[in-house]
Amino acid sequence: MAAAASPTSTDTTRPTVVLIGHGMVGQRFLEELAERGVTERARVVVLCEEPRPAYDRVQLTSYFAGRSPEDLSMVEAGFMEKHGIELRLGDPAETIDRETRTVTARSGFTVRYDQLVLATGSYPFVPPVPGKDHKGTFVYRTIEDLLAIEEFAQRLMQKQDVPSGSVVGGGLLGLEAAGALKGLGLETHVVEFAPRLMPVQVDEGGGEALRRTIEDMGVIVHTGVGGKEITAGEDGAVTGMELSDGSRIDTDMVVFSAGVRPRDQLARDCGLEVGERGGIVVDADCRTANDPAVYAIGECALACDGRVYGLVAPGYEMARTAASAIAGEGTDGFAGADLSTKLKLLGVDVASFGDAHGATEGCLDVVYADSRSGVYKKLVVAQDGTLLGGVLVGDAEAYGTLRPLTGTVPPVSPEQLVLPAGTGGPVALGPSALPDDAVICNCHNVTKGAIRSAVTEHSCGTVPEVKKCTKAGTGCGSCVKALTTLVNDELEASGVTVDKGLCACFPHSRAELYEIVRTLRLTSYEELLASHGRPEARGGDGCEVCKPTIGSIIASLAPSVGADGYILDGEQAALQDTNDHFLANLQRNGSYSIVPRIPGGEITPEKLIVIGEVARDFGLYTKITGGQRIDLFGARVDQLPLIWTRLVDAGFESGHAYGKALRTVKSCVGQTWCRYGVQDSVRMAIDLELRYRGLRSPHKLKSAVSGCARECAEARGKDFGVIATSNGWNLYVGGNGGADPRHADLLAQDLSDAELIRLIDRFLMFYIRTADRLERTSAWLERIEGGLDHVRDVVVHDSLGLCDELEALMAAHVAHYRDEWAETLNDPERLARFVSFVNAPDAPDPSVRFVPERDQVKPDLTVLAGPTLPIRTLEGTSA
């Protein structure tokens, strides 16, 4: 993509626009020029310092999750060639001569410009800490930085069991860097000089919630201190970091991510005005203060409101403004930008918007905090009820609705906006309730009205078409869910039937496919695709969306439609997800985990001894899970039958940790042991787990039984939860822990044993019948028309006359249940699949290796196998 080097470039036949820098903002500027036709009438030259075209710096850390540098590219294939843009990679500008209007690059290439645009971005700030240049110190800014960090960490892993890495800076990029080090297998420290993490974005409460959650993940956080000195050994490599409070961290590498500074040296050298604290001074059209032929955009620019913006959305707005000015169009000018942001750090959702810190005089705070689940929500409101801003940590689901409501009086009270679903608040406001001038896509400043217009005036009939028309959803991606809802609502309001098909293979939803399979008693995916697939998909192989979904439907209906039900026979085996292929959970290094079922958490000493012996004999890592089970990690695929032979002989069966099925029914000890218990919760938990074991469903199912209202089993955080009363049992449904916690809703109370089981039967089968693919009961309950009231009418009051059918479906499941591992061990043909290499069945996988940790083992990350299905030939090709 780089142009051929030449000492001088002079093209006087048409004006020339030179862009210095090709990051996210630079690429957006080029797109804006192309949209305005500037590239057709002007020569455009780009000088880029990095060896690769613009890439998504916001998603930089996803490189460590398996995305390649090419995956991160923001340049559409053929874009430069199509628009005649000359991109010079690895050839940064070194001097600007404003008198002759020329730019000279490192290679000696010189180009004359009519308009010059500086998009040089920023550089990482490295505090002046003694030892900052020792071997093992890095910054976290570019793909090349990440490659260097990864290589150094892998060398450390080869030398020692658990090397340590430290990040200086607890802001956005600092926590991203910490996540990267953690993922590379290092003990990870974060050092932040401010008293809390992410001090710019979140308040004290949000910072505390974020810290608790991150520390629970094993990251060690130091706040209110700075680095005093980085020490090194005789070889010059990092050995530790002295902190300002006198403490010391023993660390093997240090990553600086303590903020950025505007990269404005080129501007300084050529006499352009810069701010006192850096940044190229520009006006509302992004022209530099003392040269109208030169523009500055993005992180290198000091806007006319006196701020340097470090987020991509303001940079995009600057790019649009500068492109409009160069094209000779009128501009609204850039006078500032919304600093709202939503991101996921170390797996934790964090968002802030508007006046997040409550700086407005007389404002009030509305706060919801759940320290147990790491959720913190704060809304800042004016005394007249106007929403001014907010902070969301741990649950940022409402960000897409709350941010556009900023500056308005919401239609419901602020208390109801922060309460979790199922706690008395109304159904959450959707994007359709927002005014047309509400900004839905903050990255590209796209309003709800513009999205509606794309559908009604520009005939966009799908979300991808609306994205292409408006650019909404093509930035950070946080608005895609709201965008999809708006597009579908607008299409339906226009009388257009929205395609709610499962995938490109089927025009039917999952619920509709369930009814087709049940009614026609179909037992084959191939038969279903041939009879009800889209015409263009018939005769094909299906896709990764519909195959496991149909496999799950057939498995859940197997007794009723006459199917075998064993998921690894014939066609069914080809439909399963990776984990189901081997009846075990695939781990990051290519090994598997084994989870025997332990109903109710109750286990005899003899069975405990068997588990211990199996773990010892096969060298497995052993952990007691939060669901009252014992997880055994580190088995090779060829060891799975040997392990399960011993477990089945001891009376264990599959715990279905690998499947979309019932996982556990957790319990406290109940009235048998506890002085507060009013019912036998252990007995009920065992009965329920044995009844619903193996039940395939749209998503995993979790349950719990608490013996009294003290709720020690946390039943209200489960898909169906039971809490004992003095008169029987209360049944709660639709709960969920994890990333989007939701309290379960009370479905019925004071039930007898028989009434309880009957209602759970009905509830589960109604959910399986009507839920979408991969939809938890919590999301299903909020989505289904009528919500909890409708579900109660159906499963309690039989309003649809379905209850006999639902109970019969569950009875068939219970009657025909067979343990999958016991079935597998009794069939030599089924056992034949459990090999690492199809052409060498007895050869173990050499990439599955372990290193010691705390008297057990952990994966050796230096030979990380990755998440691919480990059935391959010795040459590594797919079987």
SS (H, E, C) 306-370: CCCCCCHHHHHHHHHHHHHHHCCCCCCCCCCCCCCEEEEECCEEEEEEECCCCCCCCCEEEEEEE
Measure the CA–CA gap between 375 and 298, rounded to whole angstroms.
33
How far is 367 from 414, CA to CA, in rounded Å? Answer: 9
Q: Is-contact 334 318, C-beta < 8 A? A: yes
Q: Which of 161, 158, 139 is nearest to 148 (CA)?
A: 139
Q: Tell me which residue has tokens 């995009």.
A: 316
DSSP-assigned beta bridge partners for residue 706: 723
User: Does 708 belong to an annotated binding site?
Assistant: yes
Non-local (6+) Cβ contacts of 782 within 8 A are: 421, 427, 428, 734, 742
Is residue 441 classed as helix, strand or coil in its secondary structure? strand
In the block, residue with structure tokens 């209110």: 224
Distance of CA 571 to the CA centre of its chain: 32
Q: In this structure, are residues 230 and 239 in contact, taking their beta carbons and an 8 Å threshold?
A: no
What are the DSSP calls for 367-380, one per residue? EEEETTTTEEEEEE
668 is in an annotated binding site: yes
DSSP state of 252: S
Tell me the angle at which helices 605-618 and 640-649 cross, rounded to the nearest 10 degrees: 160
* Per-residue DSSP letter, 717: G
Please state whether 326 falls in left (phi above 0), alpha (psi between -120 and 50) or beta.
alpha
* Residue 443 in marked binding region: no
Distance CA 786, CA 427 (A): 11
**Contact criterion met (CB below 8 Å) for 602 and 872:** no
Tokens, residue 79: 């874009």
The alpha-carbon radius of gyration of the chain (Å, integer) is 30
Return the structure tokens found at 846: 């050499």
CA atoms of 292 and 17, how far apart (whole Å): 13
- The CA distance from 21 to 96, in Å, is 14
Helix (H, G, I), strand (E, B) or coil at 466: helix
Q: How many CB atoms lie within 10 A of CB 51?
A: 13
Q: Cα(221)–Cα(204) distance, rounded to whole angstroms?
A: 15
Q: What are phi and psi of 323, to 5 degrees?
A: -65, -40
- d(C-alpha 597, C-alpha 620), whole Å: 17
Task: Using the CB atoms, write b or e for 783-793: b if 16+ within 10 Å.
Answer: ebeebbeebbe
Query: Is residue 505 part of an annotated ligand binding site?
Result: no
AA letter at 255: V
**Residue type at 842 in one-letter notation:** D
- Name the residue among 132, 131, 99, 133 with its Cα closest to residue 116: 99
Binding-site residues for siroheme: 712
Binding-site residues: 668, 674, 708, 712
Binding-site residues for [4Fe-4S] cluster: 668, 674, 708, 712
